[in-house]
Structure 1
């Protein structure tokens, strides 16, 4: 008989942390890889709260030169945005959300995992 796990809430402080390193640890927590009973086809009960997202460490070169692409599905519909554009329009929270989204596996559990991620500026 299986025991139900108590949902765990992790709090990550983004102050002074590098984007990629922080987001990879968040993705591992959301996938459940930090728990003992990890199974890749079962959603873990862990949720992550990220605080102080605007105090994230990022160099100017990384802000200007790193590009994110978005495809509309139509011919000629490939759009590029730099990190600086994303930060100015939607804030650091959207940048963290994009990074974590791309680090999660592309299956049916990706969206439920993303729903367990809460980011505050």
Structure 2
């Protein structure tokens, strides 16, 4: 067998083709939705996946306010933040965020599933989440995908 008959192709920023996809979060379970979004953002669903390159697609998530949380997570899941001042720890439940800022719940779930590096931060910027059914990215011609079609 000729050892030069095939080569392993490693993607780089110049050779990566990025697409825009739309995912509808209506009645989707938060964790399962977030793991599929993270897979698409990283590019793990593509045959040319390269771990050290941003080779994933841009993901638009609509209807973030209609995402489901199973069990008691709606009232028991607590998000913690700190103001930076002494005694400045603040707590809020998932129910609170779904009422006032539903995009945050999906963004935090996806952020937790991405690498905690500069590459992870760059990949996270490819995620656009909207509470309603409308989004301003029609010019990019995004294709709608169903989560159960992702390999």
TM-score by length of 1: 0.84
1:11-41 CA distance string (max 9 Å, x none): 1111111000000100111111111111111
Distance in 1 separating the partners of 2:46 and 2:35: 16
Aligned residue pair count: 120
Higher CA-based Rg: 2
Residue of structure 2 equivalent to 1:26? 37
Residue of structure 2 equivalent to 1:65? 76
For structure 1, list consecutive stretches of 5 or more residues without a partner in the other structure.
none
Residue of structure 2 equivalent to 1:120? 130
The structure that is helix-richer by fraction is: 1
Q: Please report how far the alpha carbon of residue 78 of structure 1 lies from its aligned counterpart in structure 2 after TM superposition.
A: 3.8
Task: Check the 8 A contact 2:40/2:56 in 1, yes or no.
Answer: no
2:28 pairs with 1:17 = yes
For structure 2, list consecutive stretches of 5 or more residues without a partner in the other structure.
1-8, 132-151
SS of alignment partner, residue 10 of structure 1? strand
Residue of structure 2 equivalent to 1:55? 66
Name the Cα RMSD after superposition: 2.2
Q: Please report how far the alpha carbon of residue 61 of structure 1 lies from its aligned counterpart in structure 2 after TM superposition.
A: 2.2
